[in-house]
Amino acid sequence: MARPREFDEDAVLDAAVACFWRHGFDATSIRDLVGQTGLTAASLYNAFGDKRSLFRLALERYIAGGIGPRLARYEAAPPLDGVRGYLDDVVARSLDDPANKGCMLVNAALEFAAQDAEFRPLIIGTFGRIEAFFLDCVRRGQGDGSMTRTLAAEDLALHCLAVLMGVRVLARIRPERAVLNGVVAALLAALVARPEEGRDGAADRSERGMT
């Protein structure tokens, strides 16, 4: 019969998240993890496997504890409010980060090669969830006339995702509220429907000879 673990697994995983988030995967040593978690190297290996396995668990915990709840918080909001709220939340979290750690997911995307077979599906899949959130917002916004229809919803959703990733990276080198808010404001201005588009876009299509 397996002996019960003599440590708080959630607390250890939280400590691992903090360690990997601050240093990244490659720069984090087993000694760093031992110091952060309070476990011996043998206990870490026995409980979680190798460093890659522990990093995956830490990244999954980061996604489940931060990104998942943030998507749920804004998915039912009016379209523009949803995009604005999500990005304002990201700006706030970026500024409330004295160590300038950035986003652990974005950091992982930058650190791991695109062909990394183990982490690529998790990273791409999570960004896909965020893009799907933006796509839903844009489609609803185009449907109710609050967002521009001059570009395809898919292109605008990808633009939102690119801005999100850019804000996270920019915040690490220029953690200035005015700068980050300006980036978000520019995106929102690009999303808003123009008066000449009309509620269903008919006016805009007519002016361009598309009717």
Q: Is 139 exposed, middle or buried (0-12, 13-18, 19+ CB in 10 A)?
A: middle
Report whether pLDDT(179) > 60.
yes
d(Cα 16, Cα 29) in Å, to the nearest integer?
11
User: For residue 81, what pLDDT is reported?
Assistant: 98
User: For residue 205, what pLDDT is reported?
Assistant: 41
Confidence of residue 210 (pLDDT cuts 50, 70, 90): very low
Look up residue 192 and give its DSSP letter: B
Report the DSSP beta bridge partners of residue 192. 147
- Judge whether 95 and 88 are in contact, CB under 8 Å: no
% of the chain with per-residue pLDDT over 90: 83
The domains located in the chain, with CATH, are 62-194 (1.10.357.10)
User: For residue 203, what pLDDT is reported?
Assistant: 41
Confidence of residue 112 (pLDDT cuts 50, 70, 90): confident
Report the DSSP beta bridge partners of residue 147. 192
φ and ψ at residue 192, rounded to 5 degrees: -65, 135
Three-state DSSP class for residue 78 = coil
Residue type, 52: R
Within the chain, residue ranges assigned H as helices are 9-23, 30-37, 41-48, 51-62, 68-74, 79-95, 104-111, 120-144, 153-173, 177-191, 202-207
Chain segment 45-97, per-residue pLDDT in tens: 999 999 999 999 999 999 999 999 999 999 999 999 999 999 999 999 999 99
- Judge whether 87 and 167 are in contact, CB under 8 Å: yes
